[in-house]
Structure 1
Amino acid sequence: MPIFQPFTISIRSDQMAVRSALKDVLSGLGPLELGSEEAGTVELVLAEALNNVVEHAYTDTETVGDISIACSHERDGLHVQITDQGKAMPNGTPPLGQPAEVDVEFDDLPEGGFGWFLIKDLAKDVSYERVGSENQLSIRLAVAIPTSDAGKSPS
């Protein structure tokens, strides 16, 4: 039996909608009784992924599209699928997610390049697929079953 009913949140591709969606997702995950560290990890990974969609999939400032965030919890953790109809990732794959070079002069520090590293470092599994005109990013995070439910057998 799942800890919570799977849910989906749909938003428009803008920064304010992302902020609102993060609050809604964390609220929906309430039954998981996330500690501050787990909640912070979930929020950071989703913020990076959603901001990437807004900034890169929907790059034309005239184009605002839909983003769907589906959440479910299984024995192996929290599963999140982010779907959009924006531009495909270059070469059909997400960036490698290598740490950016920070041992440089202040003026030479990179402006970006940390997001995919954080996503891949904090998530257990990350996969991307372009299906027709849709981007599908799947992320699995190691989120434990609350201790109050850990001993219960599935129905």
Structure 2
Amino acid sequence: MSSQIYEVGMSEYKIAENPVILVSSGVGSCLIIALYDRTRKIGAMAHAMLPQAADLQAAKETPARFVEQIIPILIEEMEDVGCKKENIIAKLAGGANMFATLGIYSREIGVKNIQKAHEMLEHLNIEIDAENTGGNNGRHVEFNLANGVLSIISKI
């Protein structure tokens, strides 16, 4: 059976089940949050740009833009389709330092995205099974829901 491929763009998220491959390109300081239920072979992927929203309106309009807002939504929507929270694991990719010349805050966006994801996942008791974060290079990410493998191509 061949897999369908679904693109997950910036500030977007998708939840799907096998046979699907979730794909995201152009991952720099953004963070890919991939959640997977090994039992059901259901996965979710978000391409979050910032650690948290500056205001409630922004959080409501585009929750996938923000790490803090999207993680609970992913878990809730996975539970809505039959996943059990105790079977969900997380994988993270991205959070690179892509804008080193633009100033101190921009250098920290990737790091802050990673820190916020760790904080949220720990608070929600979701294990981080694998992580490929930081550095100075962009990434292309493919999340295969047949086996839960998150494949990463580093762009140098």
Relative to the length of structure 1, the TM-score reads 0.31
Larger radius of gyration: 1
Which of the two has greater strand per residue? 2
